[in-house]
Every structure is written in structure tokens, then in C-alpha cells.
Amino acid sequence: MTETISLEGKTAFISGASKGIGVAVADSLSKAGANLALTARNADELEQTADNARANGVKVWTRTAEMADVDDVRALGQATLDEFGGVDILVNNAGIAQHQPFLEIDIDVFDKVIDVNLRAPIILTQIFAPGMIERGHGKIINLTSRGAIRAFPTGGVYSASKGGLQLLTQTMAVEFGPHGIQTNSVAPTVTMTPMGEAAWPASPRRDAKLARIPAGRFAEPEEVANAVLFLSSPQSDFINGVELPIDGGEGAG
């Protein structure tokens, strides 16, 4: 008999919840019964995600924030604790990509990508993990990328940020595992979000990328969200410190 995943009674925090993968994750976790704390920069799109999740009968709280701003991220984390008392599932999903050839890397771009993709997850984990440790359970899921596994031209800063996030994932797994917390990452290939579609229009470059994926297509946001749901659930309680590729077999070639 197949057990249905239930997250009833749990609170999940999802960053980058106004677009793409974040929207799909909010939908998936709310359908499983989790209450949600959602953040993003775009207030209107964030509220649309929240309204869709509320239709699944769960409590949804939102707050806009700029993930590149230390004070904003810290205030966001504290406000979440004030609202819910604690977070059981942390999904560090917010991320940005600004591609530049290595010799043309702009330090301001470097700083912003690292601040959003790497520093913000550190801050949020420092805020939410102590409560998980106190309660003796928790799930942390970090969204990395195929770019964290294999380099590509003009992607140096992005890959560095996502590769760093994967090593942070493993560090969290080692340090938090004894406290009943599992920390894992999900590494999608190109995903058909608005950002993915804009970055990979019809072109020889797109054709070459697809040729490396045995499935012959890019990922859908819901497929990434399904992996996040599994890693958020008790069914993954003995999985810790892994990077799960959602890539249609791209990494096997």
C-alpha cells in the first residue's frame, strides 16, 4: 500500500516563492497540508502564490524581502518566528543568475549573486535551525543546480555560489544530523520557469543542451517540487547530505 505524504501540522518556509520552482513547491507542500511562510520581492506575485496555497486549506503568511540585504533577511526570519513560533521545513529556493565571461566578471555582480544564493541561506538557517535542534527534528532543502556539478562558459559566479551551497548542505548534514535534522539539496537541470525559458530560447545552444539529456526535454517546475516534497517528508528521514539531480539523466552521460 502506498503511503500518501502528509505534512499536516508542519510549517514550511519557502524563499523565492513568487515564480517558477518556488510557486510549484508552495503548491506541493500546501497540498500535503503544510502551513507556509512565503517570501519574494514581488508582492503581487507572492500574494497570488499565497492565495493558491490557501485554497488547499492551510495557513499562509507572506512578507516581501530583498535576499541580498542582510538586515532584511534577518528581519524576515525573526518575523517568521514571531508568526509561527518555529519552522519545521526550510526551503532555500531564492536565487539569481547573472552570467559573464570569467575575465569580465564584475565584482558588484559577484557580490550580489553570492549574497542571494549563498549568504541568505546561511542567515535563514542560522535563524531557523536552532528551533529544529531544540525540537529534535527538521528538514532543510537547498536548491542548487546542475551548474553546481559541472562548469559551463560564463557561469563561473553562478556555479561558485551553487557549488558553495552544496558544500554548505553537506556541512549542515554533518552538524545537524545528530539532532534529527536532514539537510539535502536538489540540483535541477534547465527548468521551464520564466527565467529558464528566457535563458534558453530556441537556438543551437538549446539544441546542444537537450542533446545531452536522455529524456530529450528540460525539467518542469512540478518535477522539482515533487523532489522537495519527498525530502520534506518523513519518507526521507534516513537521507542526509545528498545532492539529488533532477536532470532527466543528463549527469549519467
Distance CA 140, CA 137 (A): 10
Burial class (CB in 10 A: 0-12, 13-18, 19+), 205: exposed
pLDDT at 239 > cutoff 80: yes
**Domain membership flag for residue 16:** yes
**Domain membership flag for residue 251:** no
Q: Is 91 left (phi over 0), alpha (psi -120 to 50) or beta?
A: beta
User: Catalytic: 162?
Assistant: yes
Helix (H) or strand (E) holding 132: helix 120-135
Helix pair 120-135, 70-84: axis angle to 10 deg? 30
Percentage with pLDDT > 90 across the chain: 89
User: Catalytic: 158?
Assistant: yes
Please indicate whether residue 153 or residue 87 has the higher confidence score (pLDDT): 87
pLDDT digits (tens, 9 = 90+) for 159-216: 999 999 999 999 999 999 999 999 999 999 999 998 788 888 999 999 999 999 999 9
**Domain membership flag for residue 2:** no
CATH code at 155?
Answer: 3.40.50.720
**Domain membership flag for residue 252:** no
List CB contacts of 236: < 8 A, sequence separation 6 or more.
Answer: 139, 182, 184, 230
**Domain membership flag for residue 6:** no
- For the chain, the domain total comes to 1
Q: What is the pLDDT of residue 150?
A: 87
The region of weakest confidence among 1-10, 64-73, 77-86 is: 1-10
Parent domain of 196: 11-245
CA angle 190, 43, 123 (to 5 degrees): 70
Q: Specify the residue for cell string 519518507.
A: 235
Chain-centroid distance of CA 122 in Å reads: 13
Number of Cβ within a 10 Å radius of residue 229: 25
Which residue in the list 59, 112, 158, 209 is annotated as catalytic?
158
**Domain membership flag for residue 46:** yes
**Domain membership flag for residue 234:** yes
Which residue in the list 10, 19, 139, 162 is annotated as catalytic?
162
**Domain membership flag for residue 31:** yes
Mean pLDDT of the chain: 95
Please indicate whether residue 47 or residue 199 has the higher confidence score (pLDDT): 47
Start-to-end C-alpha separation, the chain: 35
